[in-house]
Structure 1
Amino acid sequence: MEKLSVVLLNFNGQHHLKNFLPSVTQYSKPYQVVVVDNGSTDDSVAFIESSYPDVQLIKFKENHGFSGGYNKALGLLDSEYVVLLNTDVEVTPNWINPVLEQLESSEDIKAAQPKILDQKAKEYFEYAGASGGYIDDLGYPLCRGRIFQTIEKDNGQYDEAGEVFWASGSCLFVDRKTYLDLGGLDVDFFAHMEEIDLCWRIWRSHYRIMVVPKSTVYHVGGGTLDKSKPKKTYLNFRNGLSLLIKNEDGLKLIWKLPLRIFLDWVALIKFSIESGPQHGLAILKAHIHTLIHFSKTFKKREALKNHPKIPRLKGWIIISYFVSGRKKYSQLRKET
């Protein structure tokens, strides 16, 4: 059995492979690098076969999406640990060992991430992960280094390793057996927040998740779907509601879900004014989808107990951010 495999899911991303696969192959030794091609129609497969013959290539005939592609691929591997690594990530020397050592330090640690900085502005944290993720009492995600659209400069303020609620899917180290036992990533999420859903299930299985800032990678971000696109707005709002419906405590869900829907309508007005009516329409479509598929999503709730020390943020981030003006993670309090 391999100790660890670095797994990149590719769909028509030859340009990213050309830019970032060199650092991955150079700095991932002696561990296995695997490229999973998700039915690409560009020259990705030919490029890998000719330029990187030592990289293991798994070829799917069709695009199974981010979640489905990884679920199928990880079932074919035999590694103890895997790294789900986006193709637009630049890794650095010794990026694997600090995280792997953290995973192996305790049997109840099942997932982790490095510090993730912006590949286009390397002194800043990257939006989708930064130095580890959390959610607040209403299920809104945030990171050490990023709250909503406020992204902090990395001055070493979040360099301590520790527990986090979720680890970024752009560079997710995870115990492969745990991943498969929990059903992997939810294919109905398609993209965005699917890793938060998985991490919530990991915590509710009484395991832990860590961030290890001693390891650093650089993520381009937005390579799959630009944040200016209404589809991204749709997925974020739709999946945010699905996240709560699937995982929140039953009694709390009774009041939290209606409140989240109300706040989404406030956001609909704000998005329509600031980003255009197409984004407001995307939020409306997200709500319609949630209503139509509520029963299906609710049936996915698992009989798992909440971890007694799940690292969730106290309070409502929308109040802290928009009313109190606390726009940095260091200004917030963590529930223990």
Structure 2
Amino acid sequence: MYNIPSQIILRRLMNKKILVSVLILNWNGKEHLNECISSLIEGCGRDDVEFVVVDNSSSDGSVEFVRDRFSFDERVKVLSLDKNYGWSGGNNRGIKKSIEQGSKYIFLLNNDTKVEKGCIEKLIEFSETYPEAGAVAPKILLYDQPFLINSIGLECSIIGSAWDRGIGRVDTPRWNKIEEVAGVCGAGMWLKSDALKIIGLLPEEFEIYLDDLDLCLRMWMNGFKVLTCPEAVVHHKFSMTWKTSVEREKRKYYLNTRNRFWLIERNFPKKELLKILMYILFGEAKAIGNSIKKLELWRVK
């Protein structure tokens, strides 16, 4: 049983305005929710923060579980959607509601994560110190190997390929600097509502892959910065489930390739498109050669 600080109870009676909306996107992930939400409750003592499970029409009893398990803390809420809108679509519906109610900051969080104590407070302090930051990347560590980095921001190449900065590297002091990055990993993404009002929301047409980067590139294009906040730490059960079958691998390859072209079209300088196309053709030729060597002929069809 958790003890809710008396100051939180007192402030709730005063209907204090919500400062931060933590949006936990969920679809049939009930097995992850207890640890994720518990880490938020235990790790954040502020009463002006809400923890909202944005449920994409789960069928595993996720909604009922959250309402029953965490009924003791009014900060835990559920936004139950009528169907599965995917990652961008589900988050967008949570973001819209958060902006409408006046939340200053929005923290997108995967359901298979847990936050370290003080994570949210550190992100709030960081954003107040660096108001030019429209998006902030916490340090995301691998859940089963917390000495290794999952992501501390995203990097991007001229051909639209993106990767998690620091992935698989040992978490040493070199990663504790505040730095500018191209984007933020969607597993733990801190956003400023005022920036979203200007640049818009996540691109739902992307379905999955590179939608988080697209949002952050639009931050840069509209005069905001994207920074890292290494003191705020999230642990992520980094999943490789897309590699469990050839069909899923095909789908992943298709979405990544299609979304790369969309990302370039939407965000890269038009005058550089011819040069970018040449780099893409060279890169794809190498990829085709590697696929033939590996007998992954579906990649060249």
State the TM bucket, normalised to the shorter chain. 0.7 to 0.9
Alignment match, 1:39: 57
Alignment match, 1:270: 290
Q: Which amino acid aligns with 2:280?
A: R
Residues 38 and 90 of structure 1: is their aligned pair in 2 closer, same or farther, counting only changes over 3 Å? same
For residues 152-184 of structure 1, the C-alpha deviation after alignment (integer angstroms, 9 at most, x for no partner) is: 111222111121111111110001232243221
**Contact 1:5–1:33 (Cα < 8 Å) also in 2:** yes
Alignment match, 1:325: none
Normalising to structure 1: TM-score of the pair? 0.76
Alignment match, 1:113: 137
Alignment match, 2:88: 67
Taking the aligned partners of 1:90 and 1:275, their CA distance within structure 2 comes to 39
Of stretches 258-267 and 246-255 in structure 1, the one that deviates more from structure 2 is 258-267
For residues 51-105 of structure 1, the C-alpha deviation after alignment (integer angstroms, 9 at most, x for no partner) is: 1123111111111111111111211122110100000111111111222212112
Of residues 32, 57, 60, the one that matches 2:78 is 57
For residues 250-289 of structure 1, the C-alpha deviation after alignment (integer angstroms, 9 at most, x for no partner) is: 01012203431441242244245448444x16xx5xxxxx
Residues 15 and 246 of structure 1: is their aligned pair in 2 closer, same or farther, counting only changes over 3 Å? same
What is the DSSP-based 3-state SS (H/G/I as helix, E as strand, rest coil) of the residue aligned with 1:226? helix
Of residues 199, 210, 217, the one that matches 2:227 is 210
Alignment match, 1:233: 253
Residues 132 and 51 of structure 1: is their aligned pair in 2 closer, same or farther, counting only changes over 3 Å? same
| Percent of matched pairs sharing the same residue | 27
Alignment match, 1:194: 211
**Contact 1:99–1:113 (Cα < 8 Å) also in 2:** no
**How do residues 63-142 of structure 1 correspond to structure 2 at under 5 angstroms?**
63-77=84-98, 78=101, 79-126=103-150, 130-142=151-163
**Contact 1:23–1:92 (Cα < 8 Å) also in 2:** yes
Of residues 13, 21, 45, the one that matches 1:5 is 21
Taking the aligned partners of 1:16 and 1:234, their CA distance within structure 2 comes to 28
**Superposed CA RMSD:** 1.9
Taking the aligned partners of 2:198 and 2:178, their CA distance within structure 1 comes to 26
Alignment match, 2:195: 178
Alignment match, 1:314: none
Taking the aligned partners of 1:96 and 1:144, their CA distance within structure 2 comes to 21
Q: Which amino acid aligns with 2:55?
A: D
Taking the aligned partners of 1:87 and 1:200, their CA distance within structure 2 comes to 25
Residues 265 and 174 of structure 1: is their aligned pair in 2 closer, same or farther, counting only changes over 3 Å? same
**Contact 1:75–1:180 (Cα < 8 Å) also in 2:** no
Taking the aligned partners of 1:62 and 1:258, their CA distance within structure 2 comes to 41
Residues 275 and 117 of structure 1: is their aligned pair in 2 closer, same or farther, counting only changes over 3 Å? farther
Taking the aligned partners of 1:6 and 1:113, their CA distance within structure 2 comes to 14
**How do residues 215-226 of structure 1 correspond to structure 2 at under 5 angstroms?**
215-222=232-239, 225-226=241-242
Taking the aligned partners of 1:154 and 1:117, their CA distance within structure 2 comes to 8
What is the DSSP-based 3-state SS (H/G/I as helix, E as strand, rest coil) of the residue aligned with 1:49? helix
Unaligned runs of at least 5 residues, structure 1? 285-336
Alignment match, 2:279: 259
Unaligned runs of at least 5 residues, structure 2? 1-16
> How far apart are 1:227 and its partner, in Å?
4.0
Taking the aligned partners of 1:275 and 1:171, their CA distance within structure 2 comes to 36
